[in-house]
Amino acid sequence: MKKQQPLLFCVGFGDTARALAQLKAKQGWKIAATSRSPETVKALCEEGIEGLLFDETLPDKVPESAAWLISTPPDENGCPAYNLLHSAAQNAAQQKCSIFYLSTTGVYGDLGGGWAFEWTQTNPQSTAGQRRDDAEKAWRSISADVTLVRLPGIYGPGRSAFDRLREGKARRIIKDGQVFSRVHVDDIAACLNGAIEKGVRGEVLHPCDDAPAPPQHVIAYAAELLGVEVPPDIPFEEAGLSPMAQRFYSECKRISNARTKSLTGWRPAYPDYQSGLQAIRATENQA
């Protein structure tokens, strides 16, 4: 009997989903992905991806025996993927399909620079963080086997400090003791790939680098690699940040990935922002 081709079902198809899809496609997997745009669905089909329109007809078109990756952000009405597909997801869970929900480390709130581990209790302190926490609980209500993937700040080609510097939007805002964890998008894909291969279920995963760092250090290093002037220091109190940006700086924590490494066998290719930025710059120079 011919073995069925493995399939990845991406609900939402942003940078992270695309990075994982490209990895799995090279391994012989078939890819299905959703979009709200008919034009994007058509473009996906032209790429060899099974494009599916994210509308009320989707529950009848969900592929069977697929690994799920959900990356649709929640809004005031909850997670749109859960609202539309919870029955189909229940069926998938009963068939022991892997289901991964992409969340954020914002569910931990402020830890005063302390470490968040995969078992740390959530304590969201913003509307966005609370929505993510609620979405996590919704997906876990389907099955305890749903894996929650809590992501820190994501960067990669086309979405890094280089781009902000080129656009003139990079600012070195200085807040004493402030650090963030971050992750290169390719490392997220590699971590998820490891989780799928290891059959990880019902866990919390932290795909992140090994070296939380102040944001102003990242900007300075990117400027050095580009050979441009490092933006001046701006004290946090004088930055005139929007309420959203102020909330971003109101939370300070370090994210541990030790258990995630143990569960998945994954190790970050870019364990710090220096190696990640160097890789992006090298790719740009080859273009």
Under 8 Å between Cβ of 153 and 181 = yes
pTM exceeding 0.85:
yes
C-alpha to C-alpha distances, 87 to 21, 36, 183, 254, 286, nearest whole angstrom:
24, 20, 32, 36, 47
- Which residues, in sequence order, are CB contacts of 264 under 8 Å at separation 6+? 191, 194, 195, 198, 200, 205
Running along the chain, 287 residues long, what does each successive block of 10 average in pLDDT?
82 97 97 97 97 97 96 97 97 95 97 97 95 98 97 96 95 94 98 97 98 96 96 91 84 97 98 98 84
The token pair at 221 is 């290093």
